[in-house]
């Protein structure tokens, strides 16, 4: 015999409060993308899951979500590679990954093609790709067509914020002075993010460089901008376009592996010496990958011609004393087993599945993702689900730069 539940005799506001507390304890344990589906349960669930306070709580609960997709840098190009890390599956459907390119909605709203310039723990930093008029000389394109406004985008929630640095805008006369920007977001430290804009303190030279730059920082916590009092010397050999955030600092790598960094809390600028270059040994560098691994280390991979199948994975020491060779990669046995596979594209470094498991280098080839074990030098592969409009062997799914994507409810 089923007992009839008694009507709650407590105070109604207390009952609602208890219900929300219990609901929070349950929903905070649910992955981000599944939570978005739960918004359809009721208006109350929609309001609850959308509340910034709950989003912050959920972000802190999942500070290191697994990577569920990799995106190329242009929304008009090939979209993305969805996958999971179950090596035994025959396909990689990426059940938690998005089913379409999340940049498309932003492109439709802004009527511009959107270019990714950085991804950081689930958030993307983007700007419109501006096409210069034919009257602009090629040497002046970099100076004139650096956009003033940028977007911080959360592809999981389809939310974005448009940023225009006020001090950099005021300093702009005939030409924009922004030389680079970078996103700093670490959910294990804070649910909030910062965006650092670097702009020329003086009028740039004809080739787009000046000796000093200013730093202007946007904080999502305060929704405000801050201009640092002093200017900092710019390293001519370091392009400040592709920043990598790691352990509280932003990093930019130079032509000969020298590295500039800016520590946000300490407001400290530093420089790490590079490596000597031996032309007779290395030849011409054709590919470079500068990234942060999931275990919080900076890595650099340079691939030189004519030998594309063997290369080194460098790691930066935690005290910034320099680079050292972490892994040696030899893909010759792989190409013997897969003779028809063209040159592979490096996606990112994945941590081992257990404490004894070594890291894997994830590589992309037509229709497949390969897991190269950096300790045993063995390779496993998963097949990608066919993607409409993509010819895997003609142009594939990757571009010149590729960015990992993690699911997060972080507010932008």
304-322: pLDDT as tens digits: 887 888 899 999 999 999 9
Average pLDDT estimate for 177-197: 90
φ, ψ for residue 274, nearest 5 deg? -90, -160
Res 95: pLDDT: 38
Q: In the predicted model, is pLDDT for residue 112 greater than 80?
A: no
Query: Is the link from the previous residue into 306 a cis peptide, with omega within 30 of 0?
Result: yes
- The pLDDT, as a whole number, for residue 178 is 80
Pairwise CA distance, residues 21 & 180, whole Å: 43
- pLDDT of 86 above 50: no
More confidently predicted of 108 and 194: 194
More confident residue, 257 or 277: 257
Mean of all residue pLDDT scores within the chain? 78
Other beta carbons within 10 Å of 161: 17
pLDDT in tens, 343-363: 888 988 887 654 455 788 998
Backbone angles phi, psi at 127, to 5 degrees: -150, 160
The pLDDT of 329-341, averaged and rounded, is 84
Identify the CA nearest to 206 among candidates 143, 147, 145, 148. 143
Identify the band that residue 196 occupies on the pLDDT scale cut at 50, 70 and 90: very high
**Segment 243-271 mean pLDDT:** 92
* pLDDT, position 90: 33
How much is the average pLDDT of 83-112? 51
pLDDT in tens, 88-99: 333 333 334 444
How do residues 375-387 score in pLDDT, each as one tens digit? 888 888 888 877 6
Is there a contact between 183 and 246 (Cβ–Cβ < 8 Å)? Answer: no
Question: How high is the pLDDT of residue 143?
Answer: 45
Domains of the chain plus CATH, in order, are 13-50 (no CATH), 51-132+141-406 (2.120.10)
- Say what the pLDDT of residue 102 is: 59
* Alpha-carbon dihedral sign for residues 102, 103, 109, 111: negative
360-365 β-sheet, strand order? 91-92, 379-384, 368-373, 360-365, 345-350
The confidence score (pLDDT) of residue 19 equals 76
Q: Does this model's pTM top 0.75?
A: yes
Say which range, 130-134, 138-142, 251-255, has the weakest mean pLDDT. 138-142
Question: Is the predicted pLDDT of residue 29 greater than 50, yes or no?
Answer: yes
Residue 139's pLDDT band (cuts 50, 70, 90): very low
Of 131 and 255, more confident: 255
Return the number of other C-beta atoms located less than 10 Å from residue 216's C-beta: 21
* Alpha carbon distance 111, 105 (integer Å): 10
111 falls in which pLDDT band (50, 70, 90)? low
- Mean pLDDT within 157-175: 80
CA dist 267 and 366 (Å) reads 44
Nearest CA to 194 out of 221, 157, 164, 154 is that of 221
Say if residues 255 and 218 touch (Cβ distance below 8 Å). Answer: no
- pLDDT at residue 135, rounded to an integer: 45
Residues 201-252: tens digit of each pLDDT: 776 666 656 677 889 999 999 999 999 877 777 787 888 888 999 999 999 9
pLDDT at 353: 54
Collect all residues with Cβ–Cβ distance below 8 Å to 127 and sequence separation of at least 6: 114, 115, 117, 147, 149, 150, 151
pLDDT(109) > 70:
no
pLDDT for the residue 342: 78
Give pLDDT, residue 8: 46
Task: Let me know if 222 is exposed, middle or buried by CB neighbors in 10 A (0-12, 13-18, 19+).
Answer: exposed
Query: What does the radius of gyration of the chain's CA atoms come to, in whole angstroms?
Result: 23
C-alpha span between 12 and 118 (Å, rounded): 48
Angle between helices 43-50 and 52-61 in degrees, nearest 10: 60
Looking at per-residue pLDDT, the higher value among 290 and 232 belongs to: 290
* Kind and range of the H or E run holding 182: strand 178-185
Q: Which whole number is the average pLDDT over 137-141?
A: 46
Instruction: Categorize the per-residue pLDDT at 197 as very low, low, confident or very high, splitting at 50, 70 and 90.
Output: very high
What confidence score (pLDDT) does residue 91 get?
34
Q: Choose between 377 and 264: higher pLDDT.
A: 264
Q: Torsion angle of alpha carbons 382, 388, 391, 395, nearest 10°?
A: -90
């Amino acid at each position: 015999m089923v007992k009839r539940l008694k009507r709650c005799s407590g105070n109604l506001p207390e009952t609602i409060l208890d219900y929300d507390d219990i609901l929070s304890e349950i929903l905070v344990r649910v992955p981000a993308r599944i939570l978005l589906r739960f918004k359809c349960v009721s208006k109350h669930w929609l309001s609850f899951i959308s509340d910034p306070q709950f989003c912050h709580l959920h972000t802190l609960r999942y500070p290191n979500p697994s990577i569920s997709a990799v995106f190329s840098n242009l929304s008009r190009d090939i979209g993305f590679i969805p996958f999971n890390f179950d090596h035994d599956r025959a396909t990689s459907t990426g059940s938690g990954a998005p089913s379409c390119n999340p940049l498309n909605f932003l492109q439709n709203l802004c009527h511009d093609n959107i270019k990714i310039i950085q991804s950081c723990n689930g958030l993307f930093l983007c700007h419109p790709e501006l096409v210069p008029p034919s009257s602009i000389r090629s040497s002046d394109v970099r100076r004139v067509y650096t956009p003033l406004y940028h977007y911080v985008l959360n592809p999981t929630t389809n939310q974005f914020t448009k940023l225009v640095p006020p001090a950099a805008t005021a300093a702009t006369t005939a030409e924009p002075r922004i030389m680079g920007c970078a996103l700093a977001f670490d959910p294990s430290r804070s649910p909030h993010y910062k965006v650092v804009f670097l702009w020329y303190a003086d009028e740039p030279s004809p080739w787009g460089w000046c000796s000093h730059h200013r730093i202007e920082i946007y904080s999502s916590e305060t929704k405000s901008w801050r201009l640092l009092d002093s200017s900092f010397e710019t390293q001519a050999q370091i392009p400040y376009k592709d920043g990598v955030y790691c352990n509280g600092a932003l990093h930019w790598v130079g032509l000969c592996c020298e590295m500039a960094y800016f520590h946000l809390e300490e407001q400290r600028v530093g420089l790490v010496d590079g490596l000597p270059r031996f032309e007779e040994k290395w030849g011409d560098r054709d590919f470079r990958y500068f990234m942060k691994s999931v275990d919080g280390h900076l890595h650099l991979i340079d691939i030189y011609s004519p030998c594309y199948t063997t290369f080194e994975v460098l790691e930066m020491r935690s005290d910034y004393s320099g680079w050292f060779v972490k892994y040696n990669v030899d893909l010759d046995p792989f190409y013997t087993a897969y003779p028809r596979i063209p040159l592979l594209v490096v996606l990112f470094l994945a941590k081992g599945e257990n404490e004894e498991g070594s890291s894997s280098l994830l590589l992309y080839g037509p229709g497949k993702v390969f897991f190269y074990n950096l300790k045993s030098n063995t390779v496993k592969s998963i097949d990608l689900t066919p993607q409409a409009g993509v010819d895997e062997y003609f142009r594939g799914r990757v571009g010149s730069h590729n960015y990992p994507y993690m699911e997060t409810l972080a507010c932008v």
